[in-house]
Amino acid sequence: MAAFATRTGKRVRPHAKTHKSPLIARLQLDRGASGLCCAKLGEAEVMAGAGLGPLLITTEIAGEPKVARLVALRKRAHVMVAVDDRDAARALSDAMLAAGLTLDVLVDVNVGQERTGVQPDGAGELAACVASLTGLRLRGIQAYEGHVQHVYAEAERRMKWRACADRMLAAMESIRSRGLAVEILSTAGTGTCAFAAELPEVTEVQAGSYPFMDCDYARVEGLPYESSLTVLASVVSRQRGDTAVIDAGWKALSTDAGMPAVKGRPELEYATKGDEHGGVRGARMVPGERIELVPSHCDTTVNLHDEYICIRKGVVEAVWPIAARGRIQ
């Protein structure tokens, strides 16, 4: 990813929601990342506590308790946020003014994910509102197309990304038509950053999964990244014929993106067996035997664990805490 940034001239602002680790974030910054994305305020608080930044919080912040926390965070760190609502923007501005602060803001644009973000034709109006608020400083656009990242076929993914890009560019034009500058255009994930780099208007990408990947991303064509994250599990029972029961269930492996894969054993198939257990079909294994499982979704699996065991060539080199685990508010 660092080589991608050098080659394309696009800034990389990696998403810390994947690894939730200040240690990994520091490795990314040391390799040229321009800052960090954080999905939630809690993640940003952990990263700021480690002296890392600048930070972009990509999920809208609303409500007095969170706004108060944001003010406290802004006092000690360089933070930027995304907004998609004029009333919420006014509340942020009022809070910053009361504290004698200014907050950088990106207008969040819905480019097809149908989650957060204004419609492209409403971006100009929201940007004008933000620009008029003394406590805020308009910096540009956030236009994330998360629903496209795991489209497996490269041609289909590019086609769907192009539709998102057209919406993003329409939003940019809506803002510029009001005489407002778009200094930052932040977009794309691991699955689409190569496409986004082709657009001169794009200034940065928000890729997150690339350090780890997962077995679902492994199906996505055209990506140069390899899987590095596994969950170590042990066989605890073999009473069910060719299905070994292991000590890794829903509490160890998320299944929102499908079943994990057994590393190096394509003949084996994982199935959930409840909170604490999983089943592995396809071979007769003995209690105590260990296997490694490649998660189907790295982000949600990481949030289930306390630490990374860092291994190189079979030797444990470090243990890194997952310091932002559970920081979902």
CATH, residue 237 = 2.40.37.20
Amino acid 121: pLDDT: 97
- Within this chain, do residues 193 and 130 fall inside the same structural domain, yes or no? yes
pLDDT in tens, 143-158: 999 999 999 999 999 9
Per-residue pLDDT at 241: 85
Residue-wise pLDDT tens digits, 88-100: 999 999 999 999 9
Using DSSP bridges, classify how beta strands 204-205 and 184-187 pair: parallel, antiparallel or unpaired: parallel
What is residue 16's predicted lDDT score, i.e. its pLDDT? 98
Q: Model-level pTM? A: 0.96
Residue 222 lies in a domain: no
pLDDT of residue 242: 87
Q: Cα-Cα-Cα-Cα dihedral of 64, 70, 75, 81, to 10°?
A: -130
C-alpha 320/C-alpha 226 separation (Å) is 20
CB atoms within 10 A of CB 18: 27
Q: Write down the pLDDT at residue 232.
A: 98
Decide which of 179, 214, 249 is a domain's last residue. Answer: 214
Domain check: are 201 and 76 in the same one?
yes
Question: Which pLDDT belongs to residue 240?
Answer: 85
Cis link prior to 54 (omega < 30° from 0)? yes
Residue 283 lies in domain: 231-321
Residues of the chain with pLDDT under 50: none
Q: What is the pLDDT of residue 321?
A: 98
CB distance 168 to 109 below 8 Å: yes
Alpha-carbon distance of 292 to 285, in angstroms, equals 14
Tell me: do 187 and 237 sit in the same domain.
no
What pLDDT does residue 283 have? 85
For residue 308, the SS3 value is strand
